[in-house]
Chain A
Amino acid sequence: MTETYVEACCAMVTHKFSRFGFLTALLLLCLSTPVRPAGGADLEKAGHVLNRIAYGPSSADLTRVGQIGVQAYIAEQIDPAGIDERSNVRLRQREDALFTLNLPVRETLLVMSGQFWRYRKGTSQPHPGWRDLTFNDADWLRGPTGIGIGDGDDRTVLTDMRRINDDPETPDNESQAGYLSVHLRHKFLLDAEGLAAIDNLILRVDYDDGFKAYLNGAEVARANLPAAIVPHDASATASHEAGTARNFDISDHKDLLRTGDNVLAIQVHNRSITSGDLSMIPELLSRQILPGPARRVIRGIDELQQLIHVRGVYSAKQLQTVLAEFWENHFTTDYDKVAEYLDGLTNSDATDAMPQSQARAEAAQLEYQEYQFFYDNALGNFADLLLYSATSPSMLIYLDNVLNVKGAANENYAREILELFAFGVDNRYTQRDIEQLAKCFTGWGLCKVPRDQAQSFPDSALLPPTECEVEAEQTVLIDLGTGWKFFKGTQEPTPAAAGGPSAAWAGSGFDDSHWFRGFTGIGYGDGDDATMLSDMRGNYLSIYLRRRFMIDDPDRLENPILEIAYDDGFVAYLNGDEIARSANMESLGAPPAHDVDATPNHEVTASPARISLKPFRSILKAGENVLAIQVHNGTLNSSDLSILPRLIDRRILPGSTEKGDLNGIWTFGFDPEKYDTSGKVLFDGTPDRIVIPEGRGSGRMGLTGLRDTLDVIRSIASHPSSAEFICIKLIQKFVSDNITLATYKDGTAPAELEDLLTEMLAAWNSTAPVGNIRTVMQAMLDPVNQSSLFWSETAYRTKVKTPVEFINSSLRALDAGASGNGLPGLNNAMGMHLFTRDDPDGYSELGFDWIDTASMLERIDFVRDLAQNRKSDYYWDALLFMDERNLETTLQILAYFDELLYQNMLPEANRSLLLDYLATNSNGVPLRLNRLNPQDFKDRVEEFVGLLLSMPQWNFQ
């Protein structure tokens, strides 16, 4: 029988794989015979190779393997530089959609969070001109943003906003009527230079629930409110929780801005008058695009997760893509932890380094850089992969090496580099080695550098910057020492009319001539005070301080910062306005009464709290100003209290890169000051013992100390334990998971797998440096002789697909279209969310970790959604698929998929079950499948493929 015969007679062979076609034809002829058809060695091998070094067979790849043979296909895959993907349009289009171009920019906050705004409670309708520049808001209330109630995200708390009428807990408050809205205004100055620099104008709002924003009287943005004029007593149309600020690009409205005074006005509405939370934290951002090259960056973490699938389904470099996923998972890092870390950073001027959106974008890009390195070096040297991972910013953050400093070691990374990334658990190392190794990694950290100073690997690891501190010069406006007046908090310094506290004492007009004079620090206990309050303990809980200071021109201050060391709590005021308080004074009233206590306790430490006064620059006056502070003890009988405030202005010197710099690049940095120079001994008592002498006297300090640690990493990479652990993981991934480090060590692993391991270890050790992955893969795959264990029954169809493998192979089986959207969610549901795994061990390569009812439900739902086109994110065209392959009858369709997916080895019982399914209507009544009835044909083929891919066999590869 010839190929021509098959095509002519059966009209179904598309693989141009004459022997496969022959077998398929045979199968058709033999269908009545109740025996499994012979598999055919070539088809079996082709299917096996595609199941392992690729994400399963696609018709195109199976055809290609048929044309060139498995040996040539493996050769091509193992040296993928020769595969040209420039004309792979499906791949390129989908990949390009995941990236964006990042231009160099300068951002300036025209309005920042924490600034004082005028606001008016929405108990009645405000004057119609309330949002105009000319409106006089002098009789409105005044307070810093966030303004609102509930959730603990507001500095100006509107306790009367919520209607309370039937709360049995507080019957006394039944009369609180509440109100639905707040109107806010904030004026800001803009000079001609600043106005000209605005390329993009962004309104960044953290809000709950709905708002409308106006710039100089004209609406520029809204959310959850209608277009029409919204009265004060209207509800927001939907709920929205604050917590993540949202950017509104209002560049189209930038012409509303003018030099001189401008006003940003906002009305914020609650969803319901009984709602317990509302919030408004607005910022206005000017973005100037600077000259310079653009950078291609991943759009976000979702897009990075999609990239795994886009490459996995469409790239011809299948082995490289499979290995890239393997390494990414092996050297796993957690995007969420990286983003959270970046979000928590502070610039040297004490401002928040970046908004959450920037932190997420930077974290996603760091994860992408890691993945791309593993992709580019998937078949390279293990030592490079290990060194890259160790110095990658994501890893430095993820396993806490950024926190690992001399005298305060953190063992997290030191443990995992041995246990999880190189040696395998308990494989020739001890707890002592971990402690010693943790010392080696002290001083390792992150540095943000200008784009043109970012180095590529290996220089990024070998020659990291050692000076990452931002250079600045400081002008001291108020130093520790003289000039302070204080008042003992035995009573309120300036009681309000009703007897409660007022902040009148903190204002610039207050007469403090009857207060005591003192030097800071003021307090008692701990020996850190210049003014001793020997009568405080047991007698009063608080003290009040004032200090006058002169400023010639507030606009010339760059970064005014209040530095304050305190014990136990404080509230600080500038010219009578509260500007900061310690966390343990939250919700104690504004101002807190003299007799409240600050809990939990807080001690004076070497690094004082630093508060940026940038948002309060407009409060400062030319001439005399007053800084006032009230300090509270934790308990009346506390053994100490202290306050040590300084006011400084900080001017950042040119050339420095702040942590929040949008144009900077995160790199590995080494701080010699934080490096532990004490002597270290690793792997003591073994042939691989490493001794690093003490730094003092031997010169092993500074960069020498870094070089010592880089040498240790190289030693770890070339250590026999690493060879064992990595080769075993490669066997688990590509051959059989019936071996682990533990069974290898205790001698219970199957002998044939141990033999394969021996061959791979020999290959590992055959190169200089050792650990060339291409060489090791060559030994494992044995493409020329095809006699290694990879080709045996032990390997064939014995591996359970991981979720990524299951998803990608399903899409490839149907030539499906997928943008990648929706697939990360599926991975998550099946238990394999790459880039966000909490645990540092990576996802399992072992089959029994992937099969349980919850994940099988997800698998079955996915393939049925795919086959029946129930989701827009992944789809196939059943009619086109069948027509292109000339498949019309139930037998043809089944035979085609049996060959493509199962190497013609579906057992008779399954074949008849599948044929029955395809040959009956939705009620199970036999009905001939008829291509001339396209809708019924399509529906039944789709349902059939849903069952085909739900079969037990499809979980195996």
Chain B
Amino acid sequence: MSWTRREFLRAGSLTAVGAGLTFVKSDIFEDNALAARVAPDTKLIFIFQRGGSDGVNTVIPYGDSEYNQANRPTLFIPRTSAIDLGNDFAGLHPRMAPMMEIYNHPALTGTDGPGNLAIIHRVGYAGQSKSHFDSRQYWENGVPGDPSFEEGMIYRQVASTMNPLENNLVAAAMSNSQMVALKGPLPIPTIGDAETFSFSGDPAGSIKFIGQSPSTPQGTDGSGLLGAYGGPHDFGGKPYRDLVYGTGLALANSMNIVQDAVAQGPYVASGGASYPGGAFGDRLEQIAMLLKRTEARVLGVNIGGWDNHTNQGKIYGQHGDLLAQVAQGFGAFYRDLQDQWDKLLIVTMTEFGRTSKENGSRGTDHGHACVMFVAGGRVRGGVYNCDASTWADGDMFSVKGRYVERKTDYRAVFGEIFTRHFGDSEDMIETVIPGYAQAALDHPGDFERLNFIRQA
């Protein structure tokens, strides 16, 4: 933990930290008037695949002759089993078929469809960590190399542009435990289950308990729980006071909003959408419910189980089952959220890919770059970074003969999301992704514009 660092960044988010830095005109900033054209209520769903997914068996580089049975004795998926993505190079894992309803487009697959799914292969960052914990931290805090930095990249987008103090449910992690991506000085709600997000016991008995907020911030005229958490901070100079007091307030306030939404009755998905079963699918359905019934704009969710060191399985099995859940989730969102599809963006992330060669236990070990899926009404569909023009034969082993080398930095993907989907200016990007400009200077190739989102 680095308090000085955090304080610095917090200050930065209020005062635009760029003053002392020289900016290069990065590709995504060709149009500073963008913000004016982006809708004010665009929304984001992000899915974190915890454990490190095997990107090579997710979007399969059939154009690379190293993708073969010898390198992957029990994991090899024959090309005939995979789904053709129409670029004569890549195949999609067969269990991800529900994604195709979003991907399909006459120009891509010859099949009618919106062409709203971008499949971005080989995303990583320079100095790839193969530690789950550090690499997750970097993906979530937006600062590779600083594992102690406990403030989320998406949090900064929310805190800087969406006023979470005014709307206590503008963003939330649908999770039993908080997501670092949404962690920061202003507590963003973490909701394990919207249905039960209320104090136990008789609601009438909770009225006195919840009490009243003080008339002024940290005033002494409140009562009950709100009076305590909204009152003066005991040992106010010590660590975590803002966090604990703020979380108590965020809990009581967001609870109201969530319960009002739940009270509207059982949620029925539209458009024949079918969410996957289990805890993950339930959370996706609650995300859709909150997007429709509240002012929530940014919602995150985890799906675990990707650390397949053993018995990974190819089509069926651990990995395939997880891919199927993610794909079914995308398909359900597409159908269910048609009314806001143009304002919505769904993105996946995972801490790293895996070894290109199967290990001795029918699994794979920690690797480098992996795949991101991005869907939404203004997404320009297609396969990025996995085609004959960018992928040379043997690139499967382009790092140390073991892993797939990155082609794009994850911060470039999020940079494009923050600018084109949320309308961030370049100053704002440096606040949301500290060190963006310098990283783009150091590794220009990793920050080349992909243009997977159409200009507003």
**A residues whose Cβ falls under 8 Å from a Cβ of B:** 400, 403-405, 407-412, 415, 419, 425-426, 431, 600, 736-740, 742-743, 748, 797-798, 800, 829, 831, 838-839, 841, 846-849, 851-857, 860-861, 864-865, 868, 870, 905-907, 909-910, 912-913, 916-917, 920, 922-924, 943, 946-947, 950-953, 955-956
Contact = CB atoms under 8 A, between A and B. Distances in A.
Contacts of A403: 310, 360-361
* Residue in B222, B304, B365 whose Cβ sees the most chain A Cβ within 10 Å: B365
A852 B190 CA distance: 6
Interface string B414-441: 0000000000000000000000000000
Interface of B: 1-5, 129-134, 146-148, 150, 173, 175-178, 183, 187, 189-192, 197, 199-201, 205, 208-209, 220, 222-225, 227-229, 231-235, 238-241, 243-245, 247-248, 250-251, 254-255, 304-305, 307, 309-310, 314-315, 359-361, 365-366, 400
A713 B366 CA distance: 23
A848 B200 contact: no
Nearest to A914: B228
A600 B315 contact: yes
Given A841-B133, A851-B247, A952 B201 contact: no
A906 B234 contact: yes
A916 B244 contact: no
Contacts of A905: 234
12 contacts: A403-B361, A405-B360, A410-B309, A737-B239, A742-B146, A831-B177, A847-B240, A868-B201, A905-B234, A917-B223, A952-B248, A956-B238
A748 B223 CA distance: 40
Contacts of B192: 829, 854
A811 B85 CA distance: 59
Contact of A848 (B243, B250, B254, B366): B243
A953 B234 contact: yes
B191 to A, nearest CB: 6
Contact of B240 (A411, A426, A800, A831): A800
A857 B197 contact: yes
Given A426-B129, A846-B1, 10 more contacts: A410-B365, A738-B3, A852-B177, A853-B247, A853-B251, A854-B190, A910-B228, A910-B234, A916-B223, A950-B228
Contacts of B197: 854, 857
Given A831-B177, A922-B208, A412 B199 contact: no
Contact of B191 (A410, A742, A853, A943): A853
A407 B360 CA distance: 8
A742 B148 contact: yes
A907 B3 contact: no
B255 to A, nearest CB: 8
A848 B149 CA distance: 11
A408 B358 CA distance: 10
Nearest to A860: B199
A606 to B, nearest CB: 13
Contacts of B173: 852
A868 to B, nearest CB: 8
B225 A950 contact: yes
A854 B175 contact: yes
B209 A943 contact: yes
A743 B201 contact: no
A909 B231 contact: yes
Contact of B2 (A743, A797, A952): A743
Nearest to B235: A797
Contacts of B250: 853
* Residue in B2, B235, B244, B315 whose Cβ sees the most chain A Cβ within 10 Å: B244
A15 to B, nearest CB: 22
Contacts of A743: 1-2, 148
Contact of A913 (B191, B208, B209, B228): B228
B251 A947 contact: no
B376 to A, nearest CB: 27
Classify the secondary structure of B's interface with A: loop
Given A798-B239, A922-B205, A856 B359 contact: no
Contacts of A800: 240, 244
Nearest to A601: B78
B126 to A, nearest CB: 15
A829 B176 CA distance: 7
Contact of B147 (A412, A425, A955): A425
B360 A409 contact: yes
A431 B359 contact: no
Contacts of A839: 132-133
Nearest to B254: A853
Contact of A952 (B3, B190, B228): B228
A108 to B, nearest CB: 32
Contacts of A409: 359-360
Nearest to B238: A798
Given A410-B309, A854-B191, A952-B228, A864 B238 contact: no
Those 10 A-B pairs whose CB atoms lie nearest each other, nearest first: A408-B360, A852-B178, A852-B190, A909-B220, A854-B190, A853-B251, A831-B177, A403-B361, A861-B200, A853-B189
B209 A851 contact: no
Contacts of A852: 173, 177-178, 187, 189-190, 247
Contact of B359 (A410, A846, A912, A952): A410
A904 to B, nearest CB: 13
Contacts of B200: 861, 864-865, 870
A864 B228 contact: no
* Residue in B150, B177, B220, B222 whose Cβ sees the most chain A Cβ within 10 Å: B177
A839 B302 CA distance: 14
A952 B208 contact: no
A207 B251 CA distance: 44
Given A742-B146, A924-B208, A748 B199 contact: no
Contacts of A404: 360
A848 B176 contact: no
Contacts of B175: 854
B39 to A, nearest CB: 28
A925 B1 CA distance: 46
Nearest to A840: B132
Nearest to A920: B208
Contacts of B183: 848
Nearest to A847: B240
Contacts of A737: 1, 239
A411 B227 CA distance: 53
B258 to A, nearest CB: 10
A601 to B, nearest CB: 9
Contact of B238 (A405, A797, A855): A797
B288 to A, nearest CB: 19
A509 B245 CA distance: 83
A955 B192 CA distance: 20
Given A851-B240, A864-B209, A947-B224, A952 B245 contact: yes
A947 B133 contact: no
A916 B233 CA distance: 19
A412 to B, nearest CB: 5
Contacts of A916: 223
A743 B146 CA distance: 9
A916 B201 CA distance: 22
A917 B222 CA distance: 11
B438 to A, nearest CB: 17
A846 B222 CA distance: 31
Contact of A740 (B1, B224, B231, B359): B1
B415 to A, nearest CB: 25
A366 B192 CA distance: 31
A805 to B, nearest CB: 14
Nearest to B173: A852
Contacts of B209: 864, 943, 946-947, 950
A400 B244 contact: no
A924 B212 CA distance: 12
A748 B147 contact: no
B360 A956 contact: no
A831 B360 CA distance: 33
A864 B232 CA distance: 23
